[in-house]
Amino acid sequence: MRTDIIMAFLLTTTLTSTALAQQIPEDRPTFDENGTVNVPAFRLPPSKLSSEEAREAQAMRGRIPVGAMTSNENPDIKARRAQLDRMMGPRVEQMKAIYPVNIEESTIGGVQVRIITPKDGDFDPDRVLINLHGGAFTVCWDSCSLVESLPIASLGKYKVVSVDYRMAPENRHPAGVEDAAAVYRKLLNSYQAEHIGVFGCSAGGGLTAQLAAWLPANGLPQMGAAGIFGAGGVRFQSGDSAYVTAKTDGSFPGPAEDGTLEIDMTRGYFDGSDLDDPVLSPALHPDVIRIFPPTLITTGTRAMDLSPAIYTNSQLLKADVESTLIVGEAMGHCYQYNPALPESRDAYAATVKHFRKHLD
In a domain, 17, yes or no: no
Answer positive or negative: Cα dihedral of 217, 219, 222, 228.
Answer: negative
- Cβ(293)–Cβ(222) under 8 Å? yes
pLDDT > 90? residue 255: no
Mean pLDDT: which of 13-17, 84-88, 297-301 is highest? 297-301
Strand partners, 200: 228
In a domain, 71, yes or no: no
Q: Is the pLDDT of residue 66 over 60?
A: no
pLDDT at 251: 81
Q: Taking a C-beta distance cutoff of 8 angstroms, is the pair 246, 254 a contact?
A: yes
Is residue 100 assigned to a domain?
yes
Residue 48: what pLDDT?
92
Q: How confident is the model at residue 10 (pLDDT cuts 50, 70, 90)?
A: very low
**With pLDDT > 70 as the criterion, what percentage of the chain qualifies?**
89
- What confidence category does residue 39 fall into, taking pLDDT thresholds of 50, 70 and 90? confident
Structural domain range at position 347: 77-358
- Give the pLDDT score at 261: 79
Q: Is position 253 within any domain?
A: yes
pLDDT at residue 276 tops 60: yes
Please state the rounded mean pLDDT for residues 336-344.
97
Q: What per-residue confidence (pLDDT) applies to 164?
A: 98
Has residue 149 been placed in a domain? yes
Q: Mean pLDDT of all residues in the chain?
A: 90
Residues 288 and 266: their CA atoms lie apart, in Å, by: 25
Q: What is the mean pLDDT of residues 67-81?
A: 68
Which of 71-80, 185-194, 202-211 is the least confident region? Answer: 71-80
List of residues 6+ apart from 336 with CB closer than 8 A = 148, 151, 201, 229, 230, 298, 344, 347, 348
On whether residue 42 sits in a domain, the answer given is no
pLDDT digits (tens, 9 = 90+) for 218-241: 999 999 999 999 999 998 888 999
- Give the DSSP H or E segment for 224: none
Amino acid at 199: F
15 found inside a domain: no
Asked whether 134 and 202 are in contact (CB, 8 A), the reply is: yes
- What is the full DSSP assignment across 15-58? HHHHHHHHHS-TT--EE-TTS-EEPPP---PPPTTS-HHHHHHH
121-298-343 Cα angle (round to 5):
75
Report the pLDDT value the prediction gives residue 270, as an integer from 0 to 100: 96
Tell me if 307 sits within 8 A of 242, measured CB to CB. yes
- Is 60's pLDDT higher than 90? no
> Which phi and psi angles does 245 have, rounded to 5°?
-75, -15
Would residue 55 count as lying in a domain?
no
| CATH at 259 | 3.40.50.1820
pLDDT value, residue 312: 98
Between CA 237 and CA 284 the distance in angstroms is: 15
Closest residue by Cα to residue 207 from 157, 142, 277, 280 = 280
Is residue 173's pLDDT more than 50? yes
Count structural domains, the chain. Answer: 1
11-15, long-range: CB within 8 Å, 24+ apart, which pairs?
none
More reliable by pLDDT, 6 or 197? 197
Lowest mean pLDDT segment, chosen from 25-39, 221-235, 269-283, 293-307: 25-39
pLDDT value, residue 3: 57
| pLDDT score, position 96 | 97
Which residues, in sequence order, are bridge partners of residue 131?
A: 162, 199
pLDDT band at 152 (very low <50, low <70, confident <90, very high): very high
